[in-house]
């Protein structure tokens, strides 16, 4: 949900408005099932010539149905790793469509299996999964996390990090990787509030705008830069966050008064120094957080230049601006 701040000036009036923006439509669902044993494991521990049972090296091999247990496409990838050394099995996976995916892994459990950490393109995803079971079995899919994956070739790495005391070896079994946009946890994208509303914020991201924003009255025939400011208070539990501002109204970036608009764009900046940037329809990224913050106060400053010969129409020049606090790492 988005709210908005209205920034206006004419007869001094500045009005905060509330506007509920529609939630962006979800993209078309994409689902891709990856039979991991059918991917050439060309990155790690691949050696077709090593005999099964060799205790000094690890191999990956295709293992068919066994003991009455049926696997997806009749087989799974068995990572035969005898060592407590963090050996990795990596598979290239061609993602057919770039999207935000919920990633689920259908593992295979067995008495010989250890505890496995999944990583995609080298970044760990989710918590380690214990693949020990007293008997061979196909496990239910485990949702290990949500990742935005570009179309193209990625690496899926399975690292045996440890083993259950009951497990007799450091093997792992992977049957299927499920990439499903509908299983993706959508990032908590926005939390925006007006000064008047305050308080009504999601638990992980909050943005509050303090005080009244007001320019002095615009005076015709006087070339001048008008300034106004307010403070944003940001609380974020996300790993990173970005405070942005956008003007999605008519004649983006310009204050309007009915059919009239100011010639020069409204500018904004975060902080009390540095450059002002012109507003526009696309989000202008004002401030980046690389760590969680609580109640961090960010000065927001606005600047409007009016030329000496610029015609001004009686009334209120105003615009509703949308501030957003977003994260890709909730």
Our finding on whether 69 is near other proteins (CB under 8 A) is no
43 part of the interface to other proteins, by CB under 8 A: yes
Query: Least Å distance between CB 137 and other proteins?
Result: 29
148 forms beta bridges with 100
Site size with other proteins, rule: CB under 8 A: 55
For 132, phi then psi, to 5°, come to: -75, 140
> Per rule CB under 8 A, is residue 148 in the interface with other proteins?
yes
Sole binder of other proteins in the list 3, 156, 287, 323 (CB under 8 A): 287
Q: Which of 165, 173, 157 is nearest to 81 (CA)?
A: 173
Distances 145 to 181, 254, 325 between C-alpha atoms, Å: 11, 42, 22
The answer to whether residues 46 and 61 touch, using CB atoms and an 8 Å cutoff, is: no
Distance CA 245, CA 232 (A): 12
Q: Is the Cβ–Cβ distance between 71 and 136 less than 8 Å?
A: no
Q: Which stretch binds other proteins (CB under 8 A): 13-21, 55-63, 71-79, 193-201?
A: 55-63
Minimal distance, residue 190 CB to other proteins, in Å: 13
Neighbours of 282 (CB within 10 A): 12
> Rounded CA gap, 62 and 133, in Å?
20
Interactions with other proteins, residue window 77-116 (CB under 8 A): 83, 85-88, 92, 95, 98-100
Which residues touch 259 (CB under 8 Å, ≥6 apart)? none
308-327 mask for other proteins (x: CB under 8 A)? ------------------x-
Taking the complex as a whole, how short is the minimal distance between the CB of residue 80 and other proteins, in angstroms? 13
**Cα gap 227→239, rounded to integer Å:** 33
Cβ nearer to other proteins, comparing 21 with 310:
21
Considering only residues 21, 44, 96, 231, which one is a binding residue for other proteins as defined by CB under 8 A? Answer: 44
Mark 114-133 with x for binding to other proteins (rule: CB under 8 A) and - for no binding: -------xxx----------
Of 19, 61, 62, 285, the one binding other proteins by CB under 8 A: 285
Residue 286 lies near other proteins (rule: CB under 8 A): yes
CA distance 88 to 304: 58
Single out the residue of 223, 229, 301 nearest to residue 263, CA to CA.
Answer: 223
Kindly state whether residue 45 participates in binding other proteins, applying the rule CB under 8 A: yes
- Would you tell me which residues interact with other proteins (CB under 8 A)? 40-47, 49-50, 56-58, 83, 85-88, 92, 95, 98-100, 121-123, 147-155, 240, 242, 244, 269-271, 274-275, 277, 280, 282-288, 290, 326, 328
């Amino acid at each position: 949900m988005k709210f908005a701040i209205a920034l206006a000036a004419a007869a001094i009036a500045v009005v905060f408005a509330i506007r509920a923006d529609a939630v962006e439509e979800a993209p078309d669902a994409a689902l891709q099932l990856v039979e991991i044993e059918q991917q050439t494991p060309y990155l790690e521990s691949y050696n077709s010539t090593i005999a099964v049972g060799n205790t000094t090296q690890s191999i990956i091999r295709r293992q068919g149905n066994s003991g009455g247990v049926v696997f997806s496409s009749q087989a799974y990838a068995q990572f035969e790793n005898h060592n407590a050394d963090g050996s990795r099995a990596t598979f290239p996976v061609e993602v057919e469509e770039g999207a935000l995916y919920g990633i689920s892994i259908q593992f295979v459990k067995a008495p010989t299996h250890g505890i496995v950490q999944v990583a995609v393109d080298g970044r760990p995803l989710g918590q380690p999964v214990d693949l020990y079971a007293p008997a061979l079995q196909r496990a239910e899919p485990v949702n290990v996390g949500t990742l935005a994956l570009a179309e193209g070739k990625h690496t899926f790495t399975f690292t045996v990090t440890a083993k259950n005391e009951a497990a007799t070896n450091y093997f792992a079994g992977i049957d299927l990787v499920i990439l499903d946009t509908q299983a993706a946890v959508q990032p908590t994208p926005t939390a925006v509030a007006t000064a008047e509303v305050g308080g009504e914020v999601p638990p992980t991201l909050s943005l509050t705008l303090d005080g009244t924003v007001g320019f002095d009255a615009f005076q015709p025939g006087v070339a001048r830069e008008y300034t106004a400011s307010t403070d944003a208070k940001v609380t974020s539990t996300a790993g990173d966050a970005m405070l942005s501002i956008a003007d999605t109204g008519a004649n983006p970036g310009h204050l309007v008064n009915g059919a009239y608009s100011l010639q020069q764009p409204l500018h904004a900046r975060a902080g009390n120094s540095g450059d002002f940037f012109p507003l526009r329809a696309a989000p202008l990224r004002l401030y980046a957080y690389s760590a969680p913050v609580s109640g961090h106060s960010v000065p927001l400053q606005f600047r409007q230049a009016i030329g000496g010969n610029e015609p001004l129409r009686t009334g209120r020049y105003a615009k509703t601006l949308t501030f957003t606090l977003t994260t890709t790492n909730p």
